[in-house]
Amino acid sequence: MPRVAATRFTYLGPEATFAEQALRTLPGTRTGVLTPSASVPDALDSVRGGASDAALVPLENSVEGSVSVTLDELANGEPLAIIREVLLPVSFVLLARPGTRLAHVGTVASHPHGEAQCRGWLRGNLPNASVHSALSTSEGAAAVARGEYDAALAAPLAASRHHLDVLAEDVHDTDGAITRFVLLTRPGRPPERTGNDRTSVVVFIADNHTGALLEVLTEFAVRGIDLTRIESRPTKQQLGRYCFYLDCAGHVADARVGEALAALRRICADVRFLGSYPRADDDLPAQRPGTSDDDFAGAADWLAGLRNPPR
Amino acid sequence: MPRVAATRFTYLGPEATFAEQALRTLPGTRTGVLTPSASVPDALDSVRGGASDAALVPLENSVEGSVSVTLDELANGEPLAIIREVLLPVSFVLLARPGTRLAHVGTVASHPHGEAQCRGWLRGNLPNASVHSALSTSEGAAAVARGEYDAALAAPLAASRHHLDVLAEDVHDTDGAITRFVLLTRPGRPPERTGNDRTSVVVFIADNHTGALLEVLTEFAVRGIDLTRIESRPTKQQLGRYCFYLDCAGHVADARVGEALAALRRICADVRFLGSYPRADDDLPAQRPGTSDDDFAGAADWLAGLRNPPR
Amino acid sequence: MPRVAATRFTYLGPEATFAEQALRTLPGTRTGVLTPSASVPDALDSVRGGASDAALVPLENSVEGSVSVTLDELANGEPLAIIREVLLPVSFVLLARPGTRLAHVGTVASHPHGEAQCRGWLRGNLPNASVHSALSTSEGAAAVARGEYDAALAAPLAASRHHLDVLAEDVHDTDGAITRFVLLTRPGRPPERTGNDRTSVVVFIADNHTGALLEVLTEFAVRGIDLTRIESRPTKQQLGRYCFYLDCAGHVADARVGEALAALRRICADVRFLGSYPRADDDLPAQRPGTSDDDFAGAADWLAGLRNPPR
Amino acid sequence: MPRVAATRFTYLGPEATFAEQALRTLPGTRTGVLTPSASVPDALDSVRGGASDAALVPLENSVEGSVSVTLDELANGEPLAIIREVLLPVSFVLLARPGTRLAHVGTVASHPHGEAQCRGWLRGNLPNASVHSALSTSEGAAAVARGEYDAALAAPLAASRHHLDVLAEDVHDTDGAITRFVLLTRPGRPPERTGNDRTSVVVFIADNHTGALLEVLTEFAVRGIDLTRIESRPTKQQLGRYCFYLDCAGHVADARVGEALAALRRICADVRFLGSYPRADDDLPAQRPGTSDDDFAGAADWLAGLRNPPR
């Protein structure tokens, strides 16, 4: 992340949870300063206020769905820009104090999400253990370190932090479960396009007429743009009024994406651009003929020639 | 609800919360038996297992958005049918033991949602009070009754249940905030149509091709059907794969709605019908010409005549 | 054509033109009675009035386009039904009296269409010949037989009829040029479907709103029906008001076609069904998933079960 | 037509027909030189070759439909540009030599179109007159002047030219029948926009996939552009392959029209721009919100700001 000189990162804390684990996969974090925030709004406010350069927060999980607070902050809070995404597999470790054996685990601590995502594993491997809620996976590990519980389901990072042993690795119920995090900065020039990018926007429908969303989706479809996600959120003003959080393939610098966003800007009550950034996955569909930058440039030249023919 | 002989209702408990408040607005609840359930899944399982005839659970809130656990249960659990909806304004009361004066309230208990929806009011009216989390609004009231806190933000129903006085009424930050509850039974013949109905389905997209959702929305649009809500939920199998929870105007018995649902059934991997039921609001758009039952019947007769002309 | 007992055919005359040539490719014509009509309206009126059982008239040509009089008769005249189509390659013969040699041909007679479709050939092969208009290709051949001209461009059938020799075969400028003829009867039960059928309709747009034609095309597109032709014709009432002659793949007995036609019936001011009949070509695109009769039947059963669940 | 210095006009002749009548409604024709051409191709070639500055030819008639030869020349011939349109009501006069009384008219000459458009009037007013075909309405009048027939149905202009009296005015069967003529020049800068313009293009579909035309229409619809006419013409290469002649509301200088044309250029095999020119009628639908030039400019500015944010 070369554009941030001396990078001060924050993330949804506490330390040693999956958010820190995800953040540490990004370049620049080795030399940066990493500070946990107490909540998603706190992390984002830290960036807004200038105390941090960038914040990593969860956006969605393939099992739990969207993280509403993140969506609402992005849609309604002071604007921020997504500059990176991280896809982190949901994969817990079972941690215990050195010397503990799996057979002796009678109590397990974890955040409720951890319990939810490992319920089957617990039933199969620790059928008699009682499970206790902690405020975070890291808190659960800390409680184990303090001797309050026998074991904790936590992020791998928590083992060394809390000087615990790993009794079981890659613990999860749903294969392929993934949490998607986004790295946010103050708005600025988007990252350069890589050819495998994603663009995120929030659109507010102009009025509630039938087919307004259909019109929005059509603006993407006519330009051959793949929508990778659509999520409605209440506008908080009236039941039945929603805004839509949309992710699409491509970069705002792509001609087709730019034209589609400009179209949304024209026909919607409001559009908030959340950023264009490299995709962390690689699910590229075939690009529809006639929608490349060259196609757009050729058509623009042709149109210019119609409007102002050469003498 | 005449189709349920001796009606045993359950609802998301505990007692004296907004769910019970919502349930008691429905006919049949005065003579029925009302039993709280500990969670949304418990309430639904009570109906699935036959212990209850109907369950009332929250589906969405105009500020907080969808209740994911309800959507997921409806989409993936053993099928149930929505037969009624209730729109309950979010309106708290501040309760205290008899004799307490507002000026003396130093501690307030509530469920975190209550705190979230009344934060502004608290700042304005009880700027020095500390707020404490309770497992439910009703629990908060009970704690006040036990003398643990000075006041509780709770549902109006909680006052008489816990023998508390109302210090302030209609407490809320967002005017018009509403929670939408649905009443669920085992699948059966849908309620008769009233002319102002809503139909709910969950659709699973056949493959991830660009424009699949557009095709789904088009099936509604070509038949002049108003979509009142669209909500994506992860299928839990892979990040980027979603199912869509859709509410539309109309009843499965309406020709246009029936034909649209049949079309979804043909083009989607799966469609789960969640029910047709009377709308609790009244936001009827003008019906598009050519989409009434008479129009469909006339066109069907015409088509039959083409296929089998009279001699 | 077994449904017409003792078949009396008429066709756009005079005798020995391409219309007769096309008609004779059809089964039943060997044993039927074939009578030329003086014009397309005369041929159609002969069927309408009962003097003929069926009439063969040209509908379009791959070079000249539509035959407007046929379209207008089908759209506005007393209804008739298309039961067959014939695709006849445009392929003239140059006819002359026995003994004539190509080098000696100084005058050529033909219908203006014949001249138009063979202009290049004439320039290349008879650069010095003068070309004279005849009322039909057959008339041109008759004039040659009478000694008025040296040669005629006519249908192959004209050779034997007028006792002329063929100086050149398969004369044409555009390879693959084809005339499409249709066989018309009084309306009745359409021919059985063959799996490679075409259906023709004329639709009258309800009002002139932007996008009315788009709505019509969408009704076909959502059901995966291939439109093979669209032709606008003035309604004759006002400039800028058109009706649309549409050909689509499939048979009115196909569920998807039937539902699309019924939809047009609902949303258009008027729809005139012109018939379903075997296609004379074989340009079958892949059928879209979810649009087979089985898909429709399965969806209809599912819908019936939703509306009237089994006890 | 200020851009053509000393204007040499040609038109579909002969003199004193409706084409000349239409041409004389245009500014500049009083001082220009007007020369008839023998055919539509001759008139257009006269402009292409530089012998004329502009040619007026018929494009469509509200009763007869399109003039195929004009469409084909515009689609396939050396490019020309439409710079004006003229809508001329179909209104014949019955002309006779001075002294002739209507009751004595036993023979009427006209072009077949004239006969077709006045058949009812002839039946009602001259039931016993025989009707004779002339090569043009003007030829018919000339034949009357020569004494060959008693009367002619012709353009009003023909009266003075041929020194004939008007026996009946405004003769026609269909009220409101109109012929639309277009004035063509060599391609150049289009006429300035007036706010009530029309744009004409010919599009060649990229391949024959289902829904290609739907995609073309959608490019207009998403930008709120009214299509005033769509006409298919064979590409002359294969039966079932068509190009589409499209007229839309607006001017190529309009942002929405320009973007739509550029989109067609991207997704179609070929697009031929035929011109933007003032509409001769005034059938303006309400413009869809979000599609004005200001809307486009505002959206473009917004997009530029996203791509290159101010420091």
Could you report the per-residue pLDDT of C143-164, keeping only the tens digit for each?
999 999 999 999 999 999 999 9
Contact C242/D at CB under 8 A = yes
For chain C, how many residues are written?
311
pLDDT of B247 higher than 90: yes
Residue B2 has pLDDT above 80, yes or no: no
With 80 as the cut, is the pLDDT of residue D133 above it?
yes
User: Residue B113 — very low, low, confident or very high, per pLDDT cuts 50/70/90?
Assistant: confident
Q: What number of other Cβ atoms are within 10 A of residue D13's Cβ?
A: 19
Q: Is residue B277's pLDDT more than 80?
A: yes
Is C76 within 8 Å of chain D by CB?
no
The distance between the two most distant Cα atoms of chain A, rounded to a whole number of Å, is 90
If phi over 0 gives left and psi between -120 and 50 gives alpha, with beta otherwise, what is residue B211?
left
| Domain spans in chain C, listed from the N-terminal domain onward | 92-171, 189-297
Judge contact between C85 and C280, C-beta under 8 A. Answer: yes
**What is the rounded CA–CA span in Å between residue D97 and residue D77?**
42
* Chain C partners within 8 Å of B290 (Cβ): 206, 266-267
By the 10 Å C-beta count (0-12 exposed, 13-18 middle, 19+ buried), B49 is classed as exposed
Q: B242 falls in which pLDDT band (50, 70, 90)?
A: confident
**Cross-chain residue pair A217–B221, CB shorter than 8 Å:** no
CA–CA min distance D127, chain A (Å): 54
Q: Which of A188-192, B282-286, D234-238 has the highest average model confidence (pLDDT)?
A: A188-192
| Best of C264, C303, C308 to mutate (most B CBs within 10 Å, chain B) | C303
Average pLDDT of C280-284?
81
Per-residue confidence band for B118, with pLDDT thresholds at 50, 70 and 90: very high
- Please give the angle made by the CA atoms of A181, A185 and A190, to the nearest 5 degrees: 95
Is A176–B225 a contact, with Cβ atoms under 8 angstroms apart?
Answer: no
* D144: pLDDT strictly greater than 80: yes
Mutate to test the interface with B, among A210, A220, A226, A282 (most CBs of B within 10 A): A210
A306 and D215 in contact by Cβ < 8 A?
A: no
Q: What percent of chain D has pLDDT over 70?
A: 96
- Contact (CB<8Å) A309/D222: no
Instruction: Tally A–B CB contacts below 8 A.
Output: 110
pLDDT at position A208:
61
**How far is residue A290's CA from residue A222's CA, in Å, rounded to a whole number?**
10
pLDDT at residue C207 greater than cutoff 80: no
**pLDDT tens, C14-29?**
999 999 999 999 988 9
Q: Quick one: fold of A189-311?
A: Alpha-Beta Plaits (3.30.70)
Mean pLDDT for C74-79 is 95
Task: Assess whether chains D and B touch, using the rule of 3 or more C-beta pairs within 8 angstroms.
Answer: no
Name the architecture of domain D190-297: 2-Layer Sandwich (3.30)
Alpha helices (H) along chain B: 18-23, 40-48, 68-76, 112-117, 119-125, 137-145, 157-161, 212-221, 255-267, 293-307
Bond preceding residue B41 cis, omega within 30 of 0: no
Nearest CB partner across the interface for A213, out of B68, B217, B241: B217
Q: How far is B55 from chain A (nearest CA, A)?
A: 22
**What does the pLDDT look like over A144-156, one tens digit per residue?**
999 999 999 999 9
CB within 8 Å of D232: residues ≥ 6 apart = C229, C230, C231, C232, D242, D243, D244, D245
User: What is the rounded average pLDDT of the residues B194-202?
Assistant: 96
pLDDT at residue C310 tops 60: yes
* CB of B266 less than 8 A from some CB of C: yes
Q: Cβ separation of C239 and D174 shorter than 8 Å?
A: no
Q: Calculate mean pLDDT across residues C200-207.
A: 89
C238 or C219: which leads in pLDDT:
C219
Helix residue spans in chain D (DSSP H): 18-23, 40-48, 68-76, 112-117, 119-125, 137-145, 157-161, 212-221, 255-267, 293-307
Higher-confidence position of B287 and C8: C8
Q: From the CA of D77, how many Å to the nearest CA of chain C?
A: 15
ipTM score assigned to the predicted complex: 0.90
| C vs B contact (3+ beta-carbon pairs below 8 A) | yes
Decide if D211 touches C, using CB distance below 8 A.
yes
Which among A262, A267, A308 has CB closest to D303? Answer: A262
CATH number of this structure's domain D1-89+177-189: 3.40.190.10
pLDDT at position D36, please? 96
- What CA–CA distance (Å, rounded) separates A246 from A233? 11
C233-242, D95-104, D185-194 — which is least confidently predicted? C233-242
- The dotted CATH code for D92-171 is 3.40.190.10
Q: Tell me whether C269 touches chain B (CB under 8 Å).
A: no
Measured CA to CA, the distance from residue D81 to residue D47 in angstroms comes to 10
Comparing C-alpha atoms, which of B25, B3, B21, B1 is closest to residue B13?
A: B21
Averaged pLDDT for residues D203-213: 77
- Residue B186's closest chain C neighbor by CA? C309
User: The tokens 């969405």 sit on which residue?
Assistant: B60
pLDDT at C145: 96
Best CA proximity match to D296, nearest among A261, A78, A35, B181: A261
- Choosing among 3.90.650.10, 3.20.20.150, 3.30.70.260, 3.40.50.1780, the CATH entry for B190-300 is 3.30.70.260
* pLDDT at position D91: 92
- CA-to-CA dists, residue B91 to B16, B117, B155, B168, B257, angstroms: 14, 9, 7, 11, 35
Question: Is the peptide bond preceding residue A14 cis, with omega within 30 degrees of 0?
Answer: yes
Is B302 an interface residue toward C (CB < 8 Å)? yes
Q: Confirm if C232 and D232 have CB atoms less than 8 A apart.
A: yes
pLDDT of residue B205: 87
Sequential DSSP letters for C49-114:
TTS-SEEEEEEEETTTEE-HHHHHHHHHSS--EEEEEEEEE--EEEEE-TT--GGG--EEEE-HHH
Checking if the pLDDT of B192 tops 90, the result is yes
Q: Which of C69, C210, C235 should one mutate to test binding to chain D, selecting the residue with the greatest count of D CBs within 10 A?
A: C210
pLDDT higher than threshold 80 for residue D139: yes
Indicate the average pLDDT of chain D: 92
**Confidence (pLDDT) at B206:** 73
Q: Does B177 touch chain C (CB under 8 A)?
A: no
Contacts of D189 in chain A (CB under 8 A): 307-309
Q: Considering only residues 212 to 241 of chain C, which have any Cβ-Cβ distance to chain D shorter than 8 Å?
A: 213-214, 217-218, 221, 224-234, 236-241
pLDDT tier at D208 (50, 70, 90 boundaries)? low
B vs C, Cβ pairs < 8 A, gives: 83
Q: Tell me which chain B residues have a C-beta less than 8 angstroms from the C-beta of C258.
A: 303, 307
pTM listed for this prediction: 0.92
C and A: touch, per 3+ CB pairs < 8 A? no
Whether residues A63 and B213 touch (CB distance < 8 A) is answered with no
| Chain D residues lying within 8 Å of C289, measured CB to CB | none
Query: What kind and span of H or E run contains C33?
Result: strand C33-37
* pLDDT tens-digit series, residues A161-220: 999 999 999 999 988 889 999 999 999 999 999 999 999 999 998 766 657 889 999 999
Contact A23, A146 (CB under 8 A): no
Q: What is the pLDDT of residues A11-50, one digit of tens each?
A: 999 999 999 999 999 988 999 999 999 999 999 999 999 9
Fold of C189-297: Alpha-Beta Plaits (3.30.70)
- Asked if the model's pLDDT at residue A64 lies above 90, the reply is no
Look at residue D287 in the predicted model and tell me its pLDDT.
Answer: 86
- φ/ψ (deg, to 5) at A252: -55, -25
pLDDT of residue B208: 61
Contact B227 A217 (CB under 8 A): no
For β-strands B8-12 and B33-37, DSSP reports them as parallel
Interface partners of chain C (CB pairs < 8 Å, 3 or more) are: B, D
Question: Do the Cβ atoms of B217 and A217 come within 8 Å?
Answer: yes
Q: Identify the band that residue C63 occupies on the pLDDT scale cut at 50, 70 and 90.
A: confident
A92 pLDDT band, cuts 50/70/90, is very high
Q: Kindly determine whether residue C306 and residue B259, on different chains, have CB atoms separated by under 8 Å.
A: no
Option in C262, C267, C299 nearest B265 (CB): C299
Cα dihedral: A16, A19, A22, A28 (round 10):
-90
Residue C130: pLDDT over 60: yes
Minimal C-alpha gap between C88 and chain B (Å) = 29
Query: Tell me: the pLDDT tens digits for B56-112?
Result: 999 999 888 999 999 999 999 999 999 999 999 989 999 999 999 999 999 999 998
Q: Are B181 and B189 a contacting pair, CB within 8 Å?
A: no
Mean pLDDT estimate for chain A: 92
Q: Any CB–CB contact under 8 A between A303 and chain D?
A: yes
What pLDDT score was predicted for residue D114?
87
Q: Is D10 left (phi over 0), alpha (psi -120 to 50) or beta?
A: beta
Check pLDDT > 80 for residue C51: yes
Under an 8 A CB cutoff, do D180 and C64 touch? no
DSSP summary character for residue A50: T
Structure-model confidence comparison of residues A265 and D236, the more confident one: A265
Choice between D244 and B238, residue whose per-residue pLDDT is larger: D244
Selection from A181, A179, A183, A138 nearest residue A162 by Cα: A138
Q: Which of A253, A266, A309 sits opposite D290 (nearest CB)?
A: A266
pLDDT of residue C210: 59
CB contact under 8 A, C213 and D236: no
Beta-strand relationship, D151-154 and B178-185:
unpaired
Two domains, one topology: D1-89+177-189 and D92-171: yes
B225 contacts C232 by C-beta, under 8 angstroms: no
For residue C295, which residues of chain B lie inside 8 Å, CB to CB?
266
Q: Which residues of B touch C307 (CB under 8 A)?
A: 189-190, 252-253, 258
CB pairs under 8 A between C and D: 110
Q: Report how far residue A49's alpha carbon sits from residue C238's, in angstroms, rounded to the nearest whole number.
A: 66
Cβ distance A222 to D215 less than 8 Å, yes or no, reads yes
Chain C interface, mutation test: which of D73, D86, D178, D210, most C Cβ atoms within 10 Å?
D210
pLDDT in tens, D150-179: 999 999 999 999 999 999 999 999 888 899
CA B88 to chain centre: 10
Distance (Å) from the C-alpha of residue C148 to the closest C-alpha of chain D? 23
